[in-house]
Structure 1
Amino acid sequence: MADLHNKINELYKSSKSYPDLVKNLIGIGVQSYSVEVSSGIILYRFVGGENILHGAVSIPREISESFNRQLVLNALKDTQEGRTTYPEFMDDIAFAGVRFYEATLNGNNKRVTYIGIGGSYEEAIPL
C-alpha cells in the first residue's frame, strides 16, 4: 500500500499535463478516483477492487452553497492554460460550489464530473 502512495506521488511530480497524468495513473491500474474538495482527500480505485485514500490539506476549504457552472468552466480554463496551480484550482472550484469531483479513467468515456449542490459539469479527458 505504501508503495502505491509513493508511485502516485511520483506520477504527480513527473507528469507534464493532466492527460499525461491520466495515462500514468491508468498504467498503475487506477480505474477511477474521487476528490473531496474541502479536505483534498482522494480515494483511488484500482483494477481488482483495491482502494486507497491519499492526501489531505491542513486547513479545510470552504465550499460555496450553490453550484456555479460558469465559475467551474473559468477554473478549468485557467488551470488547463497554466494560469493557476493545482491548489489555486481547488480553491477556485470550491468557490464555484464543487463539493467533489469524480474522474472515470476506464472504458471509452474517460471523463471528470464536477458535482455540487444544485448542479454538475462533465468534461471528457483528452487522451
Structure 2
Amino acid sequence: MMFTLEQIKTAHAKVKSGADFPNYIQDLIGLGVVFYETYVSDGHTTYYGANDYQISAAPVYETLIIAPETNLLVFKKELKAHQQGQTDYLTFCADCARSGIAKWTMDMQKKTCTYYDRSGKEMLVEKIPG
C-alpha cells in the first residue's frame, strides 16, 4: 500500500499534544507506514512502507542546535510532560534539542519509539501504547 505525504499530514493535523500520539500511530499503521525517523534539527521525517517504499517530508521549522551532551534525566521529564499533553510538538522538539536528542524512530511492527543522541547512540527505547 502506497501512502502520501498528504495522508500523513491529515493524520498529524489531528494531533494537538503528545496525549494524541497513540491515535496518530494507529492512523499511520492504517496508511501502511511501517517505520519512520524524525530528525530534531529541522523536523524533517522519512516514512517507510512495504517493498522499500519511502517518502520524506520537508523540514517543518528553523534549524535547532542539538546539544553535544545528552541529559537523559531532563529529557525523560520533558518527554513525560509531552506525553501527558502539557507541551506541543514544537516545544517538544526544542526540548529534545536542548537535551541532546538528535532523532527518534518509530517501529510500528516492534511497537517501539527509540531516541538517539548526536552520535547515533540509542538513549531511550519506549513501547508505543495501543
Matches within 5 A, 1:42-61: 42-61=45-64
More strand by share: 1
Q: Give identity over the alignment, percent.
A: 27
Alpha-carbon shift at residue 55 of structure 1 (Å)? 3.1
The 2-side partners of 1:87 and 1:54 are apart by 16
Matches within 5 A, 1:1-127: 4-15=4-15, 17-106=20-109, 109-117=110-118, 120-127=123-130
Q: How many residues align?
A: 123
Tell me, yes or no, if the aligned pair for 1:34 and 1:100 is still in contact at 8 Å. yes
Tell me, yes or no, if the aligned pair for 1:36 and 1:42 is still in contact at 8 Å. yes
For the residue of structure 2 that corresponds to 1:76, the secondary structure is: helix
TM-score after normalising by structure 2: 0.88
Alpha-carbon shift at residue 15 of structure 1 (Å)? 4.8
**RMSD of aligned Cα (Å):** 1.6
Tell me, yes or no, if the aligned pair for 1:69 and 1:119 is still in contact at 8 Å. no
Runs of at least 5 residues in structure 2 that lack an aligned partner in the other structure: none
